[in-house]
Structure 1
Amino acid sequence: MDGIDYKIVRTLQRDGRMTVTDLADAVGLSPTPCARRLERLQNDGVITGYSAQVDMEKLGLSVSIFVSVELDKQDRAAINAFEKEIRNCDEVMECYLMTGSRDILLRVVAADLAAFDAFLENRLMQISGIRNLRSNFALRTMVKRETLPVRR
């Protein structure tokens, strides 16, 4: 990737709906070379897709909860089994395999406390192999970025 490729990525992170012509103007290229670069960035997996950014509160999901999960076993089979099950939980926005005292960190969204309780009882606690859960409720979001820090 060169400086123009980085500029294309930065520009599209701010506005993924812009036309190739507008993108070309923004990065200082003519439309045809810009379109070729854009196609290469997509084919190479640098740009993985396009989506709408939405306000979770306006969709009725006003609660964010971080859930630390400790598994009974920390071997590959246990991790793979948990990952397979957690992928089916739409409330889980992110799931990370961690180092330290907890094996997994989840970011979960819910409408309210009752909805989170239902998620815990009916979904998360039904996954076998969990030794311990610890939940932390976010009071407010202090920083939220939708763009990666693309330098160069």
Structure 2
Amino acid sequence: MKKTKAFSFPECLQSQEKVVFFMPEDKEIAKIILSELPEESLKKILFIAHGDLEILFSTTKAQVSYYTDEGCRYGETLFDKLEYQVKTYAPVACVYPGPYKPQFLYLALISGAACRVGFDCAKEFPFLNVSLHPLKTISPARMMARYFIKGKKG
């Protein structure tokens, strides 16, 4: 039996470095992610979130850039603003739990982040370059949020 190296999740998500987090539009999933993230990690995360999630973020001190379904296509003013914010934030990592949206995959790529994480996303390479497989015992949202807690395993 061949031994394989244990996978070590990128330290960049646990080291309190700058991260861009593309929030899913599903309010329940977004709520789980926010409830699991340690409050101190919110200071180093720029969330890209749909405007429908604004009330969810209203009780946090998180940095959030909102988008709407209209005007958030490549070349439009709102998209250009998001692109500028993501680039100037200069993250070391991007987290993209899905679902697939080509404009946000593009933003992850041009962010300059060396670590761009998603779930079952091998087909999205080079936009995302770390593909995780969700565990059956824990939701992808909860699993991703827990990686932000140093030393805690999903």
Q: Normalising by the residue count of structure 1, what TM-score does the alignment of the two structures yield?
A: 0.24
Point out which structure has higher relative CO (alpha carbons under 8 A, 6+ apart).
1
Structure whose CA Rg is larger: 1
TM-score (norm 2): 0.24
